[in-house]
Amino acid sequence: MLADQAHRARRIASTFGRIYLGIKANQWAARRVPPQEMKARWSRFNRRSAEAIFKLAVELRGLVLKGCQFIGSRSDVLPPEYIEVLSKLQDRVPARPFSEIRAVVERELGMPLSEAFSEFDEQSVASASLAQVHRAKLQDGRDVAVKVQYPEIRDLVHSDLSNLRALFRAVGVIERGFDLMPLIGELSEHMPRELDFCSEGINAERVAGFFEGRADLSVPQIHWDLTTTRVLVSDFVEGIKISDRSALERAGIEPSSVMQTLLEAYCEQILVEGFFHADPHPGNLMVLPPGEDDCPATVVFLDFGLAKELPPAFRQSTVQFAGALLQGDAKAMGNALVKLGFKTRTNSAEALQSIAWILLDMAKRLRNQTYVDPEVVREAGEELPRLIRENPVVRVPEHLILLGRVIGLLSGLGQTLGAKLDMLETILPYALGVSPREASGRNSHE
């Protein structure tokens, strides 16, 4: 185990170390090389770096693969070479041998595979960081998806956390003011939950309850009689990957309407129910084409290993923040950030107000987009780190870190789909405490 951990540590450090040195070398070269030549040079470097990261993630799996899946969904901020290469990690990771999978299932269920299922496809339909999924049939003929945890994944996760802790500590020494250590704390808390498939099943059923009465949102049913901490059995759903824009259009589905449905689903989870699916990468979202009787296309949520309960005061603080945002009041926005749990080393409200000004500017430019364009990201990326270095934010609440991750994933998906929505028009009614669905329900009873 110690030898394996040392090997993983060397692979992680060497891969990202070479990329870091390459970035620095290119930044130095950019002062002397003509822009057009430099553009081509960056493109070649980005592709080589992405391929090195892909190889590392597939080799090491575990926490490294999960982090790279997130990176591969950020088409709004990362160069296209990274997206093209790393997006393949979402659901095309090389599968494990069937013999390993069969052994886990039979050990967990305490019975032969043929006794639990009438059919079980040896070829996986999806392989990811912690588990892979196989299609099967129950004894009554129903199609199900069987999610099976890799046998050694628990040990790998602990090893990766140790390696990443050392790497992030080193980054903090080299790049002053760049503190990644809080992320390790978040990962240490969340990963055990993702390794418990019973917890995932409970999360799925809870969110399914939020969508009752909506034909355009769905969560597969869990089969508890065949579910354990390492095996999860649910209804099998065959649809279109949500990021496959051309397939959606061929099926007569408007990508913007899909994005609108997804945005409403997250408003409902975050601002109405206070509990949300925290891992909406494209591999976890599918779309079912419209059925008969004018039924709409349906967005299906998969994989509830990462979900989060929001604190009771979150909605009230969000309403205050939304009100300040509407009024363009950066001071009130800064005060709302304090109530949301942000802290600075000097407890300075002024520092958070400075950050609020940047957020206010981004919100204005975001109004008719589902994603922040690269220019906005570049400007914010230059200004926010400066403000944080001057008066560092030392505590960003855990739930806001996950919300930021969700926003980033949805932002990248919105750009991929080319969706053009008025996000503020959709979000603000929920933030102000009026769910459009609740409002329509009240109107129908008046």
Backbone angles phi, psi at 217, to 5 degrees: -135, 140
Q: What is the pLDDT of residue 2?
A: 57
Handedness of CA 105, 200, 204, 201 (dihedral sign): positive
Q: What is the DSSP track for 30-65?
A: TTTS-HHHHHHHHHHHHHHHHHHHHHHHHHH-HHHH
Please give the angle made by the CA atoms of 288, 148 and 9, to the nearest 5 degrees: 110
User: Which CA distances in Å does 327 have to 320, 322, 341, 368, 376?
Assistant: 11, 9, 22, 18, 21
Spatial neighbors of 286 by CB under 8 A, at least 6 apart, are 237, 239, 240, 241, 242, 299, 300, 302
For 18, half-sphere exposure in the C-beta direction (CA atoms, 13 angstrom radius) is: 14
Note the Cα 267 to chain centre separation in Å: 16
Other residues' Cβ atoms within 10 Å of the Cβ of residue 426: 17
| CB-CB contact of 353 with 360 (8 Å) | no
Q: What is the pLDDT of residue 442?
A: 44
Q: What is the pLDDT of residue 148?
A: 97
Residue 133 β-bridge partners: 126, 147
Rounded to an integer, what distance in angstroms lies between the CA atom of residue 254 and that of residue 421? 12
Give the predicted TM-score (pTM) of the model: 0.77
Backbone angles phi, psi at 25, to 5 degrees: -65, -40
Other residues' Cβ atoms within 10 Å of the Cβ of residue 403: 20
Domain ranges of the chain: 2-89
Please give the angle made by the CA atoms of 145, 149 and 152, to the nearest 5 degrees: 160
Q: What is the pLDDT of residue 258?
A: 95
Here the tokens at position 358 are: 């940047």
Q: What is the pLDDT of residue 443?
A: 44
| CB-CB contact of 420 with 370 (8 Å) | yes
Number of residues written out for the chain:
446
Backbone angles phi, psi at 35, to 5 degrees: -55, -45
Here the tokens at position 383 are: 């200004």
Residue with tokens 């009752």, as numbered in its chain: 212
Q: What is the pLDDT along the chain (446 residues), one digit of tens a residue?
A: 556 777 888 888 889 888 888 988 998 999 899 989 999 999 999 999 999 999 998 888 777 887 777 666 555 556 888 888 987 776 556 789 999 999 999 999 999 999 999 999 999 998 877 899 999 999 999 999 999 999 888 877 877 777 777 766 766 666 554 555 666 666 677 777 788 999 999 999 999 999 998 999 999 999 999 999 999 999 999 999 999 999 999 999 999 999 999 999 999 999 889 999 998 888 899 999 987 767 889 999 999 988 999 988 888 888 788 778 778 888 888 888 888 888 777 767 677 877 788 777 776 765 655 555 556 655 665 566 566 656 666 667 778 777 877 887 888 888 889 887 777 778 878 876 666 655 554 444 44
Residue 222 β-bridge partners: 234
Q: What is the DSSP track for 130-162?
A: SEEEEEEE-TTS-EEEEEEE-TTHHHHHHHHHH
**Residue of 160, 279, 294, 373 marked catalytic:** 279
**Residue 373 one-letter amino acid:** D
Rounded to an integer, what distance in angstroms lies between the CA atom of residue 406 and that of residue 314? 16
Encode 240-251: b = buried (16+ Cβ within 10 Å), e = exposed.
bbbbbbeebeee
Three-state SS for 253?
coil
Rounded to an integer, what distance in angstroms lies between the CA atom of residue 126 and that of residue 341? 38
Handedness of CA 364, 368, 373, 375 (dihedral sign): negative
Three-state SS for 233?
strand
225 classed as catalytic:
no
Backbone angles phi, psi at 294, to 5 degrees: 60, 30
Note the Cα 322 to chain centre separation in Å: 24
